[in-house]
């Protein structure tokens, strides 16, 4: 991965890109990616909690993305209990404490699901990568458990994560970052959250234009993409936008884009997936269209 000047868009070097998962041996579990600002009793969060309840009800939360992990943990504990979750544990995570890392990992091994709270996705990935806790999360997902992330927690679940590329409160452009994620969601997908509410379509355009093999997924607030295998169903208050540049882009100036110049490109595939519709992540298309093209009810 190359670093960028303030106006440059990072491109993925082939040797720096994470190793892609094969279709064979893909995890049997469920991913619930929420675009942030979810309510305890909304359909997005219920998509996660209903699966947790079906699998025994034990939930482990991690708030390492937050600037105040303990306070965030207390708030989420209260939220989950108000939603009817009785067995919830949200410890303060410290990767330097190996004994704590092993205790949390052991707790996850016996859990029905893991929840990742919001904050800073780069901070979250840095905290969890290479830990026993993260390995236990992957094991849980492999054997059928559910992993949920909201906001930064959702953005961190893909093989690559993105941050920055926006103007901050002082009016300064924050450097665009693309780096390793936690590796749960494959398909060359990269996830953006708070999507419609923070008008992030341009940001996703920039990243996909510079890295056409990526599949951009933008998730609205209080909205979940519930992923099983290669299909993701949309649930909640908003929608999911997808941006695909693989084999479609005819022109872009992402390589030469400098401060003060605007992106020029042709031509991306963009779609919006509404509630209770499915996105086929492998085909990068609505599941209804994939099924119709193959003559099958399910692909």
DSSP 196-234: TTTT-HHHHHHHHHH-TT-EEEEE-TTEEEEEETTEEEE
* Residue pLDDT, tens place only, 100-122: 999 999 999 999 999 999 999 99
Instruction: State the pLDDT at residue 263.
Output: 81
Work out the pLDDT band at 249, boundaries 50, 70, 90.
Answer: confident
Distance CA 201, CA 181 (A): 21
Instruction: Name the E strands within 8-98.
Output: 30-34, 58-62, 87-89
The answer on pLDDT for 259 being more than 80 is no
Mean pLDDT of 93-103: 97
Distance CA 131, CA 211 (A): 29
Distance CA 249, CA 214 (A): 12
Give all domains of the chain, ordered by start, each with its CATH number: 30-294 (3.40.50.880)
Angle at 217 between CA 198 and CA 68, to 5 degrees: 55
Question: Do 149 and 34 touch, CB atoms closer than 8 A?
Answer: yes
Lowest mean pLDDT among 123-127, 244-248, 249-253: 249-253
**Rounded to whole angstroms, what are the CA distances from 79 to 63, 73, 76, 86, 213?**
14, 10, 5, 11, 38
Question: Do 170 and 179 touch, CB atoms closer than 8 A?
Answer: no
**Rounded to whole angstroms, what are the CA distances from 292 to 51, 227, 244, 269?**
29, 21, 20, 19
Distance CA 162, CA 127 (A): 16
Distance CA 255, CA 155 (A): 25
Distance CA 66, CA 38 (A): 16
Work out the pLDDT band at 252, boundaries 50, 70, 90.
Answer: confident
Instruction: Name the E strands within the chain.
Output: 30-34, 58-62, 87-89, 113-116, 146-150, 160-163, 177-180, 189-192, 215-219, 223-228, 231-236, 240-244, 251-252, 265-266, 269-273, 278-280, 285-286
Distance CA 158, CA 226 (A): 13
At 264, list the tokens: 């020029």
């Amino acid at each position: 991965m190359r670093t960028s000047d303030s106006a440059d868009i990072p491109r993925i070097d082939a040797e720096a890109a994470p190793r892609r998962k094969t279709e064979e041996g893909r995890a049997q579990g469920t991913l619930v990616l929420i675009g942030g600002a979810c309510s305890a009793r909304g359909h997005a969060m219920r998509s996660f909690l209903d699966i947790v309840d079906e699998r025994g009800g034990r939930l482990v939360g991690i708030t390492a993305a937050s600037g105040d992990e303990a306070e965030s943990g207390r708030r989420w504990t209260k939220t989950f209990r108000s939603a009817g979750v009785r067995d919830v544990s949200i410890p303060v995570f410290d990767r330097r404490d190996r004994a704590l890392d092993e205790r949390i990992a052991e707790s996850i091994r016996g859990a029905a699901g893991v929840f990742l709270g919001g904050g800073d996705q780069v901070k979250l990935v840095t905290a969890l990568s290479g830990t026993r806790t993260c390995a236990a999360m992957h094991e849980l997902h492999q054997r059928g458990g559910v992993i949920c992330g909201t906001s930064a927690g959702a953005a961190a679940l893909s093989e690559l994560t993105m941050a920055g590329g926006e103007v901050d409160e002082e009016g300064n452009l924050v450097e665009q970052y693309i780096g390793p994620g936690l590796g749960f969601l494959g398909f060359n997908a990269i996830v953006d959250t708070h999507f419609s509410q923070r008008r992030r379509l341009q940001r996703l355009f920039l990243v996909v234009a510079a890295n056409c093999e990526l599949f951009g997924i933008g998730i609205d607030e209080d909205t979940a993409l519930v992923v099983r295998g290669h299909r993701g169903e949309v649930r909640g208050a908003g929608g999911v936008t997808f941006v695909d540049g693989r084999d479609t882009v005819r022109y872009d100036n992402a390589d030469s884009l400098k401060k003060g110049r605007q992106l020029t490109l042709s031509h991306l595939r963009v779609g919006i997936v509404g509630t209770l519709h499915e996105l086929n992540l492998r085909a990068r298309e609505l599941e209804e269209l994939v099924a119709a093209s193959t003559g099958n009810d399910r692909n």
